[in-house]
Structure 1
């Protein structure tokens, strides 16, 4: 039986690469709210008998206590290392090995991770009725009855501390830490998981975070696969059914989570030079950017592609690499989230060239903010972004990522259908005015690590 399941999984995986979603034909996203308050978003895709499910909760690292940075991440990770016994259902406890074997027997997978804003859990399973029912049942146990074994946490904590010590020897780690802490100040986006913060985390803290955050009324569930609406609703109901909540609790009954302060704008420039014995200097330049829900999102997306997000066709690459040979790679990017994520320009160069590379980057940025792109740059960017749009949706997993992004950020359900039109409408004036509203080149954080 196990060999048959593995053969099916391998076959389906092959087919999934060959059968791409028809992105341009319109993607119908169905949305409804369950009696518990759970928000459900579904895209039916019946080409292959498989489903991908993502459950998101407002429990990311932005809610980590100041002295326990890393709590959300380790909580999500340890939730998959064993489940409790359930005598009422006659279910024995499963340790991490037994749980892994159970998932392997089903040819399915389930696991959690935490990002800055959310804690997410992903289920992938074939939709054959016998397999899907067992996968959903096991996922429901893992989601709502994690054991948080203390002995496993001791092992994982020692491993994390060793990894942190090793990472601290890398110049990139030290440069990024200095940059984030200066850009974000006291905001949780700038928290750094350290040896000390990991040592302060106990399994009781994980259990408390879980009880507060993992509730049906807080769940945003996205599904892509071979399920009807009725089947998807039943799957979500079973995934969340084990959580103890009042029957038919409405979304309004969900207690509000504490507010997280906004990222403060920078009031002045900061220039840090950090000595580090390395062959390359790491150069970072930036500031807080904008939120994901900002109306300038598309103007910033297209503009940054031209500035430094388009690889070898970007203006920064042309000026820093092609014309002057100061760096093999130079880039810029925004990380918009629930709060204003960082805008970053980054490069590596010889320590004796760091000041020149930094000066050129600053000049390119200042000109771009002042004048915006040329019409030729704008058209090339549109062609590349629109031409590559289908690659954002060429698998169930990528499509699920997009649906979950729409659900989490409360974007219009037709967001994917109108994406290319929104990009096509962007003008030079749109980009120039958006960048002038968002960026202040004279008040940015600079970190140069390397050299004496």
Structure 2
């Protein structure tokens, strides 16, 4: 994310209170409805604290960036915070506001607004006190930033230089080279593998930002998640106000063109990249699974046993503890609207890289072939289920969960049934799920570092 977040002192206090104020409970009621303009709304009313958190998502992430303009989604989101243009009926705020004026306005309200873009979505978040006198002004100001960004050309010229310098600095690090090579090898031509470069930044101008924004950021494609001390009538009013200044939506709100799926790997590939570094950076992996996949719970538990459980995982035990080949090692899936990558990652001395890769592959192949033991599975369940309440113990954490339910089309009772679904997974389920999703003999291996 290239945007700068501004957090007022009272917002920081509210965040701290939120960490301890919510009653952690099994039931998390979530309401869902559609507005007349086609926007979808999800609401979880929480009256423990006088706080309102909301997240507005659009299918405008980097997966929709043209390859020659990779990075367009992120820089567009960042520029939303740089000013609003003159517009009629501007309410309590001036006709036009630059970045400094916006910062002062948010500080006066004790609220926080942020815009960002991930690989899949552009997101706008707002945190404010739920007192209507304050939340009304905060929502109105957020509506202006969302609906009337000015995309100032002079600010973009400055930002482009800053981001370009950051990219140039990142390119001096082996971790950047490893991550880029792994993404390109696993995703191929799929947008998940695209990254912003100095060349792609040079092709982005404010006209491209405006055109993209007007095409993708329209009310009928909005998914709004609201958590806080508000009723449904209040939430409906908030939603309508928040979306009221967006560009006019296209007739019928036609579906966006589908993004191609990620091609499965058909053969193993190993890429060794020389780099003057004390440590070799290693990634092993392949495309994983989509978030909507019914194997999600089995794969989550299995990955905890394999490499997601830290010091209790098999990879740590075999590669770090028993052989001392690395200080830390992990595995993980990154499911999304497409099959985000499964990866094993670690750093090691360049002269140990081949041995560490060999052992990691052996551990993975054995796990895929045999699955977890009953003892391992129980330990994984105990840890993940025991820690589940910590994912819901604040407004902001709950908002993240509700927003994911909205984005991925998960059931409204997803959080209520999460524990039962985890408990229902068997060792045989994990073995079968891993066998369906991973092919250790076809994976990509990227090794960056050392004279090769």
Q: Distance in 2 between matches of 1:254 and 1:434?
A: 37
Structure 1 residue 15: deviation in Å? Answer: 2.8
Name the CA shift for 1:97/1:433 in 2 (closer, same or farther; >3 Å): same
Aligned counterpart for 1:200 among listed residues 203, 213, 216: 203
Cα deviation code 1:198-239 (max 9, x no counterpart): 110000111011101111100000000000000011000000
Identify the residue that residue 66 of structure 1 maps to in structure 2: 67
**Structure 1 residue 19 corresponds to structure 2 residue 18:** no
Residues 40-51 of structure 1 mapped to structure 2, 5 A cutoff: 40-51=41-52
| TM-score, reference length from structure 1 | 0.96
Q: Is the 8 A contact 2:22 2:49 kept in 1?
A: no
Cα deviation code 1:146-181 (max 9, x no counterpart): 000000000000001100000000000001101100
Unaligned runs of 5+ in 1: none
Cα deviation code 1:105-141 (max 9, x no counterpart): 1000112101111110001100112111110110000
Structure 1 residue 394: deviation in Å? Answer: 1.2
Structure 1 residue 409: deviation in Å? Answer: 0.5
Name the CA shift for 1:306/1:241 in 2 (closer, same or farther; >3 Å): same
Q: Is the 8 A contact 2:147 2:247 kept in 1?
A: no
Structure 1 residue 22: deviation in Å? Answer: 2.2
Count of paired positions:
443
Name the CA shift for 1:153/1:118 in 2 (closer, same or farther; >3 Å): same
Q: Distance in 2 between matches of 1:227 and 1:352?
A: 59
Q: Distance in 2 between matches of 1:179 and 1:436?
A: 22
Matched residue SS, 1:289:
strand
Name the CA shift for 1:337/1:11 in 2 (closer, same or farther; >3 Å): closer
Q: Distance in 1 between matches of 2:273 and 2:11?
A: 50
Structure 1 residue 16: deviation in Å? Answer: 2.0
Residues 375-414 of structure 1 mapped to structure 2, 5 A cutoff: 375-414=374-413
Name the CA shift for 1:180/1:7 in 2 (closer, same or farther; >3 Å): closer
Aligned counterpart for 1:110 among listed residues 110, 113, 120: 113
- Segment drifting more, 5-14 vs 48-57: 5-14
Structure 1 residue 11: deviation in Å? Answer: 5.1
Structure 1 residue 23: deviation in Å? Answer: 2.8
Identify the residue that residue 127 of structure 1 maps to in structure 2: 130
Q: Please report the RMSD computed on the Cα atoms of aligned residues, expressed in angstroms.
A: 1.5
Aligned counterpart for 2:185 among listed residues 177, 182, 186: 182
Identify the residue that residue 353 of structure 2 maps to in structure 1: 354
Identify the residue that residue 78 of structure 1 maps to in structure 2: 79
Q: Is the 8 A contact 2:290 2:337 kept in 1?
A: yes
Matched residue SS, 2:184:
helix
Structure 1 residue 430: deviation in Å? Answer: 0.5
Identify the residue that residue 289 of structure 1 maps to in structure 2: 288
Moved over 3 A (4+): 5-14, 87-91
Aligned counterpart for 2:101 among listed residues 77, 98, 103: 98
Q: Is the 8 A contact 2:186 2:265 kept in 1?
A: yes
Q: Is the 8 A contact 2:8 2:112 kept in 1?
A: no
Aligned counterpart for 1:168 among listed residues 159, 167, 171: 171
**Structure 1 residue 235 corresponds to structure 2 residue 238:** yes
Structure 1 residue 425: deviation in Å? Answer: 0.7
Structure 1 residue 305: deviation in Å? Answer: 0.6
Identify the residue that residue 425 of structure 2 maps to in structure 1: 426
Identify the residue that residue 313 of structure 2 maps to in structure 1: 314
Q: Is the 8 A contact 2:30 2:412 kept in 1?
A: yes
Q: Is the 8 A contact 2:8 2:111 kept in 1?
A: no
Q: Distance in 1 between matches of 2:403 and 2:258?
A: 22
Identify the residue that residue 209 of structure 1 maps to in structure 2: 212
Structure 1 residue 87: deviation in Å? Answer: 3.7
Name the CA shift for 1:143/1:7 in 2 (closer, same or farther; >3 Å): closer
| TM-score, reference length from structure 2 | 0.96
Identify the residue that residue 29 of structure 1 maps to in structure 2: 30
Q: Distance in 1 between matches of 2:198 and 2:50?
A: 45
Q: Distance in 2 between matches of 1:337 and 1:279?
A: 34
**Structure 1 residue 140 corresponds to structure 2 residue 143:** yes
Structure 1 residue 242: deviation in Å? Answer: 1.6
Matched residue SS, 2:422:
helix
Matched residue SS, 1:258:
coil
**Structure 1 residue 451 corresponds to structure 2 residue 432:** no
Cα deviation code 1:251-279 (max 9, x no counterpart): x9212111110000001110111111111
Cα deviation code 1:374-408 (max 9, x no counterpart): 11100000000000001111111100000000011
**Structure 1 residue 157 corresponds to structure 2 residue 160:** yes
Structure 1 residue 303: deviation in Å? Answer: 0.5
